[in-house]
Structure 1
Amino acid sequence: MKTQLLAGATLIAIVASASANARPMTPEDILKIKHVTDIAVSSKGNGIAVGVSQMPDIADGAKNGTSERNLRVAFAAGNMRDFLPDDMNISGIEYSPDGRLISFLWKPEGDDEKRGLYAIPVDGGGHRKLASIEDSNITGYVWGPDSQTVYLMAAAATDKARKKESKAGFNARIYEEEQKFKRLFAVDINAGDDAEPREIGFKGEPSAMRVSQDGRWLAVAAAPTTQVDDSLTSTRVHIVDAATGALKTIVKTPGKIGDFEFDRTGKTLSLIAGVDKHDPAATTLYLVDASNGAFRPVTEGQANAAVDTEWMADGRLAVAMHVGAQSELRFYDRTGRLSSTINPGGLILRNLETSGGRLAVIADAPKHPRELFVLNGRNFVRWSNHNDWLKDIDMGTQRTIRYAARDGQQVEGIVIEPVGGAPNGGAPTIFRVHGGPEAHDSNGWLTSYGAPGQVGAGAGYTLFYPNYRGSTAYGTAFSKQHQNDYAGKEFNDLVDAIGALEAEGLTRKDKVGITGGSYGGYASAWGATALSEHFAASVMFVGISNQISKFGTTDIPNEMYLVHSRKWPWENWQGMLDVSPIYHVDKAKTPILILHGENDTRVAPSQSYELYRNIKVRTDTPVRLVLYPGEGHGNRKAAAQYDYNIRMMRWMDTYLKGDGGEMPAPRFDLPQGFSGASEAKTED
C-alpha cells in the first residue's frame, strides 16, 4: 500500500535539537506541561495578556484538582511577567477597549463567594472587583466600546426555596423539565460600588456574546432550551438591542455554529457554521448581514475547516484555517474574496486575537504545546516559551502520511516514530483514535494524558493518529462519509492504515494497540471485538458498546440522529445491534482495559458495564473496568489524568511488548511526593 510523506519542508523549520542530556518523556512530565489558553491584545499596543494553564503539581504534593490558569502579560518576544498572584485561578481574560485595564473572571476562596468580574490596571495597582451578580456566577462578558459598559452573562438565579428544601433532603431532580436559563446584564463600571447590574430581557440559553463597534447591538449565540442536544444542533446567533434586549433578527443558519465576530462597521458578521443540519461540524465560513440575518457562504465545498476569525483594523477578515493536518492564515476582504494566504511554517494555528493593528495567535507544533505567537509581516514570531524543559526531552520524529484505503479513498494521519527510529521489522504501535468523529488531529503537539504521543515514542512505540472518514478539515463531503455507516468505512480506514505503516517499516502488524475516548472509545471497543484479529491490545475510554441503549442514555440523541446514524434505532433494531461491539463479543480475543467517568452524561457508564460484563461472562479474554468517581466525559482532575495515563501505558506494555498473559496488577505504586501517596497505592 503506497503512502506519501507530507509537510516535510515545513517540519525542517521547527525541529529543535535536543540537549546532550536528553531523556524520554514520562507520564509525570505530562503534569508539568503549561499551555497558553487565552490571549487578549491591548489597543494601545503595550502588551498581550496571556492565560497560562497547568495542572496542579501533585507530583510535588499539591492538592489534587483541575487545571489552574494564571495571568501573564507579554511585552515583546521573551519579555513576559506575571500580573497576579499564583494562587488566583482566573478565566475570561480581556483588555478594556481603552487599554487601561485587564479584566478577568475570578471566584475568591469561600463557599459563599460567586465568580465575579475583576480587573487590574495595566499601569500598576492591585486588582479590584468591577461587577458581580448576588445570586449566581458570572459565566462570560464583553466590553462595550466606551470602556464603561460591560455586558455580563450569568448563571440562572438561585432558587432559595428549593435550596432550603434540598438541604432538608428533598433534593430530587426532575430530568429535563426544570430548565433555568442563563441571564444577560449590563453594568456601568464607573457608577460606584453600589451600582446594580441591569438585566437585559432575553429568552433562550445564551452561550457567547459579541458587541458591535457602536455599542448598539449584541450578537448572542443562544439555544432554545438548556439541553445539551439543543446547544449542539439548535444554537443560533440572535442580534438584539444592547439596551433592551429587543430582537432585531436571527441568523437562521441550518446547522451547528462556531465562532462569530462583528466587523468594524457593525454591519457584517463573520460566522463559522455548518452547511446544513446534517453537517457534522461548524467548519464553513459565512458572511452575515447584521441588519436582517441574511448569510452567504464563503468557503462552502472547500476541503478545509475554518477554526477562528478576527476582523482587522483595515477591514480585512483574518481566518485560522485547518487544511488536513496542517493550518494556514487567510485574509478575506469585506466581500469575502480571498486576498492572501500565509503559510505558518508548520505551526498549527488555534486562536486569533487582534487590536491596534497587531494580530496575536495561539499555536502549537510537533515539538511544543500551545504558545503565544505574533504576526510580523508574513512571519510568526514566538513570544512565549512556557516549557523550556522540553529541550531536555528526546522526541520521536513526527510527520503526516497519506495512504489509500481499500476503496481508493485517500486518508491522512500523523505518525510519531519511536525515539531513535523504528527497528528492523517495525515497532509495536499504538493507534490513538480521536473522538467525534467530527474532529481531527493536526500535525502539532499530540501528547496529553489520553494521547500517548512522545511518552509512547520514548517507550519505543510508533504512534499513529488517524484522520479517518468522518474527520473534519477535509471538507464536509469527507466528514459526512461516516454517516449511516456506523463502524463501516470509518473503521476500515484504521485497519487499512496498519498495512500502510507496515510498508513504511514502522509497525509490527501483530503488535498493534488501539485507544481513544468517546467515538475513539467506540473504535477501541470495535477493534477489540469485531476487528479483534487486527489489534493485540485495546484501551477504551468513555466509549460506546451498544448503539441501541446508548440512544436511550445519552444527552445528545438528536445530534446522534442528525449527524451520525441518520436513522432512529427503531427504524432498524437489528442494524443498530450489528454495529454494537457487544454483538461481536464472540470474536473478542483482544485484551481490553475499559475506563469511564462515573458522572458521564454523554456516554453513560452503563456502556462500559455492558461491554465488561459481556466479555467477562462469555470469554476468557483479559478485561478490566476502571471507574473514576466525580469525572464525566473526560477526566478533569490531575490524579485521574495521571492514573489514566499510567494504566493505559501499562496495558500496552503488557500486551504489545511481550507475549501478554496476566493483566497488570490492579494497583500500582505512586512515585514519592505525590499527594496522598503515603500508602503508595491508588484505588482501582
Structure 2
Amino acid sequence: MRERQVAFTARVEQSRVRRTGAVLRRGTPSSCHELAARPNRRVALFKSFVSASALSALTIATPALADPLTSEDLFRIKSVGSVAVSPDGSRVAYQVGGRPNIIEGEENGGYESQLMIGTGPNQAASYLPEGMSVSDIKFSPDGRWVSFLHKGEDDEERSVYAVPVYGGSYRKVAQSPDAGVIAHAWSPDGQTIYMLAGAAGDDARDKEKKKGFDAIVYEEEAQLRRMFRSRLGDLDNDVDATAIAIPGYVTEFSVSPDGSYAVVGSQPTPQIDDTYTSKRFHIVDLASADVRAVVETPGKVGDAEISPDGRTMSLIAGVDMNDPAATTLHLVDTATGEFRALNAGAAEAATDAEWLDDGKLAAIIHVGAQSLLRVYNADGSVDHQHDPGALILRSIEADGGTVTVTADAPSHPAELFRVTPDGFTRWTDSNPWLANIDLGKQETIKYTARDGQVIEGILVHPVGGIPEGGAPLILDVHGGPEAHDSNGWTTNYGGPGHIAAGKGYAVFQPNYRGSTAYGTAFSKQHQNDYAGKEFNDLVDAKRALVEMGVADPDRVGVTGGSYGGYATAWSSTALSEEFAAGVMFVGISNQISKFGTTDIPYEMYNVHSRKWPWEDWQAMLDASPITHVGKAETPILIMHGEEDTRVSPSQSYELYRSIKVRKPETPVRLVLYPGEGHGNSKAAARYDYNLRMLRWFDTYLKTGDRKAPLPDPRPELKLQDSE
C-alpha cells in the first residue's frame, strides 16, 4: 500500500464541563437587564467575542473517571430543542427533551419535551405540569405570554395554548375548526394568532371506512393543509377561526414584522419528492391572500427568515436542481422575489440564520467537521465571524439584544448558550450525570484517498486508549449522502459513538464524497458514480487508520442507515474482503427496484444517479449489493422499519434472501420494526436496535470470527419494571 498522508486536526480538549443541576427559580440577573436596556449593542457583542478561549473558561480539571456510557444511558440523555427569545431579551424559553426512560419503567413512546424559561446560567423554571409535552414555542409580542402547541385532555387535536410569564396557569388561546394545529405565529399587535392546520375531515369517508371501505388510491388522495387566523377571545365567544387561502401544500410560514404579509413555504403535493424538487417560498398578502411574489430558487430550500424592516428575506437554498442540499445563503427582495447568493461555491454549509435588530444577519456556518458564527452586513458583505472552539453550533435565535445558540460538543449533547462579550456563556446543563462518565478521546482527522482527494472524519478512541496492534474499528457511515458529521456529540441509538468506545471499539465517522459542509463541488463528486469513489473512501479510511495504528486490519466493521445502509450492504458484499462485520439499517440493496419502490425517484435522479435505470440497466445492477452476494463473507445484521416509504423494506428482504440462498454459510439476520418508518421513533425500538447492533459487533467484529454462531434472537433487556 502506498504511503498515505494522515493529518490530525482540531484536537479536542478533554476536560469536561462540570455543572450542578439547573436552579429552578425565577429572576433576571443584572447582566440580562443591562443587555435588555441596550438592544442595539447586539452586533457590538459579536465583535467582542473571545473565540475559542471563551470555551476553555467553561472547563475545569476533573479526576479520573471510571464508568463508560451504556445503551441504557441513552434514555437518560436530554438535550435542548427549540428556543424562543423574549422581545426585551430578558428571558429565553426553550424545550428540554428526549425519549421516555423505559429502562426505569416509563411508558414507551416518542420524543417528549418540557418547557423551560431561563433568565441566566443555570437559572430556569418549568412553567407547566410535569409530563406536559409541548412544541412550537413562541413569545407574544409584548413578552407577557409564551405560547405553544399541545393536545389537552379535552382536545381531539393539537391546539394553541399560552402560559403567562409572570404567574398564572396556562390556557387554550386558539384552535382550528376541525384539525390539529401544525404551527402558529402571533400578529405584531398581539391580538391575532395565525395557524397552519391539517386537512379538513371527511365525514362521508369516515363512515365508509367504518363499513370496511378503506382502500387507498396511491398518490391521488392528497390532503392539503390550511391556514387560519383567530382573534384572541374568539374561543370565549365560540367564534371559529377564519380561513386564509394559500397556494398548494403548505409546509411552513412566518409573518412579516408589520403584519402585512406572510412568507409561505409551499409545494404542489404532500409528496416528499415535491419537498426536494418543487418546494418554493411565496410572499402572500395577508389581507387579500394574493401572492405578491414567488421566490423561484432552482433547487432545494431550507431556513427562511424575514428582516426587521420586512424588505429582505434570508433563505438557505441549493444553487441548482442538482445541488444535493440547501447549504448556500441567499438574500431575497420580498417585493419582487429576486434573490442572490452570498457564499455560493465556498467549501462550507450555511445551516441556520437570524436577523439582528440593526439589520445585520447572523448565520451558522459549518466548515467541514467544525462550525463558526458569521455576521453579514445588510448589503451581503461579511462584517465579521468567530470560531466557537469545540462547540458545534446548531441553531440561533435572537431578540431584544440577546443572542442565543444551541450547541453540542464531544462531551455533551445540545445545550443552550448565550452570546456575550466574553464569548459563549453556557446556560443549561441537561445531563449533569455525564460528568461521571468516562468518554473516549474524540478528534477530527484527515486522510488522503487513493486519487488524492483529502477526506475528513471524526474519530472516537476506545476508552482507556488504543491497544497495541490496533482496536476493533467501526466505520459509522452517515446517510444522504448529502449530510455530514460534525465533531460534536456523536452518540445515538444508531450511532455507536461513546457507547462502543466504552466497550473497547474505535469509531470513525467519514465525511466521504457526497457529504455537505465541504462545498457543492465536493457534494456532487459522488453523482453518476454509485458505489464508486464514495465507497472507495471507506476502504481508504480503513487503510489510513490501520497505518496510523488505530485499527486492527482484521477487525474493521461498517454500520449506517439509509445511504449509510447502502454503504454497509456494499461493504459486506462487493468489499467483503475488507470488512469483518456489518450492521445495515433501512439500506439499499437493489438500485433498480429502489427506483420503483421509493417516494423520492426524482430526488434520486437529480442528485444521485443523474440517469434513469432504463437508460443503463446494467450499470444500475452492477451498483447493487445483490449483484455481489457471491463475494459476501461478512456477517451482516439487517434491520428495517416495516412502514418505511423512503427505502422499502423489500430492499432488506432482497439482500437477506439473496445471502440466505446463495451464501448460506454467511451469518445473516433480518429484524423488522412494526410501526416504524425510515428510522426508529419509539424508545423501545431504539433500545432494541442499539442492543442488537452492539451485540452483533461483539460477536463478529471484536472476536474477528466471521463464522461464529448467530447470537440469541432476543436482546438482553435491562428493564427495571419489565413485564
Q: What TM-score do the two structures reach when normalised by structure 1?
A: 0.97
Q: Deviations over 1:613-641 (max 9, x none)?
A: 00000001000000000000000000000
- Preserved contact between residue 18 and residue 393 of structure 1 (Cα < 8 Å): no
Q: 2:126 aligns with which of 82, 87, 94?
A: 82
Q: Within 5 Å, give how 1:24-43 maps onto structure 2.
A: 24-43=68-87
Is 1:666 matched up with 2:713? yes
Does residue 8 in structure 1 map to residue 11 in structure 2? yes
Whether 2:202 is the aligned partner of 1:159: answer: yes
Aligned partner (choices 336, 346, 362) of residue 406 of structure 2: 362
Q: Deviations over 1:240-288 (max 9, x none)?
A: 0012321001000000000011101111000000000000000000000
Tell me how far apart the structure 2 counterparts of residues 330 and 654 of structure 1 sit (CA, whole Å).
47
Matched, 1:451 2:495: yes
Structure 1 residue 657: Cα displacement:
1.5
Structure 1 counterpart SS, 2:205: helix
Q: For the residues of structure 2 that align with 1:605 and 1:666, how far apart are their CA atoms?
A: 19
Pick aligned residue for 2:164 from 112, 121, 142: 121
In structure 2, distance between residues paired with 1:259 and 1:253: 13
What does residue 31 of structure 2 align with?
none
SS state of the match for residue 276, structure 2? helix
Instruction: Show the counterpart of 1:648.
Output: 693
Query: Is contact 2:176-2:228 (8 Å) kept?
Result: no
> How far apart in 1 are the matches of 2:61 and 2:499?
18
Q: State the match for 1:140 in structure 2.
A: 183
User: Partner letter of residue 345 of structure 1?
Assistant: G
Q: How far apart are 1:15 and its partner, in Å?
A: 6.7
Q: For 2:164 and 2:696, how far apart are their aligned partners in 1?
A: 51
Aligned residue type for 1:593: L
Give the count of matched residue pairs: 675
Cα displacement (A) at 1:134: 2.8
| Partner in structure 2 of residue 319 of structure 1 | 363
Question: 2:22 is matched with which residue?
Answer: none
Q: Which amino acid aligns with 2:192?
A: T
How far apart are residue 195 of structure 1 and its match? Answer: 3.1
1:544 and 1:107 map into 2 onto residues whose CA distance is 37
Counterparts of residues 586-665 of structure 1 (less than 5 Å): 586-619=630-663, 620-660=665-705, 661-665=708-712
The 5-angstrom pairing of residues 149-298 of structure 1 reads: 149-193=192-236, 194-298=238-342
Distance 2:549 2:59 in 1: 22
Deviations 1:43-90 (A, max 9, x none): 122210011111111111111111111101111001112111122111
Counterparts of 1:5 and 1:500, CA distance in 2: 12
Match of 1:54 among 72, 75, 98: 98
- Kept in 1: contact 2:554–2:704 (CA 8 A): no
The residue identity in structure 1 corresponding to 2:7 is: Q
| Cα distance, 1:546 vs structure 2 | 0.3
CA offset digits 1:483-534 (Å, max 9, x no partner):
0001000000000001111122110111001000000000000010001011
Q: Return the letter of the residue paired with 1:98.
A: D
Q: Whole-Å Cα distance in 1 between the matches of residues 715 and 233 of structure 2? A: 56
Contact 2:12 2:442 in 1 (8 A): no
State the distance in 1 between where 2:585 and 2:370 align.
Answer: 27
Amino acid corresponding to residue 6 of structure 1 in structure 2: T
Contact map agreement 1:114 1:134 (CA 8 A) in 2: no
Q: For 1:533-558, what per-residue CA distance to the aligned partner results, in whole angstroms no more than 9, with x for missing partners?
A: 11100000000000000100000001
1:190 CA drift (Å): 3.9
Structure 2 SS opposite 1:7: strand
Instruction: State the percentage of identical aligned residues.
Output: 57
Which one is further off, 59-68 or 10-19? 10-19
Distance 1:535 1:329 in 2: 39
Structure 1 counterpart of 2:375, from 300, 320, 331: 331
Secondary structure of 1:329 counterpart: strand
The question of whether the paired residues in 2 share the 8 Å contact of 1:11 and 1:346 is answered with: no
Aligned partners of 2:527 and 2:10: how far apart in 1? 30
* Preserved contact between residue 11 and residue 345 of structure 1 (Cα < 8 Å): no
For residue 28 of structure 2, what is the aligned residue in structure 1?
Answer: none
Aligned in 2, Cα 1:392/1:2: closer, same or farther, shift over 3 Å?
A: same
Q: Distance in 1 between matches of 2:86 and 2:384?
A: 25
For residues 412-431 of structure 1, what are the structure 2 equivalents within 5 Å? 412-431=456-475
Q: Could you tell me how far apart the structure 2 residues matched to 1:60 and 1:17 are?
A: 32
Indicate the residue corresponding to 1:681 in structure 2. Answer: none
| Rounded Cα–Cα distance in structure 2 between residues aligned with 1:191 and 1:659 | 68
CA RMSD of aligned residues (A): 1.3
CA distance in 2, matches of 1:109, 1:624: 43
1:412 is paired with a residue whose SS is strand
Within 2, Cα distance between the matches of 1:15 and 1:505? 30
Change (3 A) 1:76 1:555: same
**Superposed structure 1 runs of 4+ greater than 4 Å apart:** 9-12, 14-21
Does the CA-based 8 Å contact 1:18-1:392 persist in structure 2?
Answer: no
Alignment-derived partner of residue 103 in structure 1: 147
Q: Deviations over 1:544-595 (max 9, x none)?
A: 0000001000000011100110000100001000000000000000000000
* Contact 2:641 2:675 (8 Å CA) reproduced: yes
Distance 1:643 1:418 in 2: 23
**How far 1:197 moved relative to its partner?**
1.2
1:433 is matched with 477
In the aligned structure 2, how far is the partner of 1:107 from the partner of 1:347?
A: 35
Contact 2:316 2:350 in 1 (8 A): yes
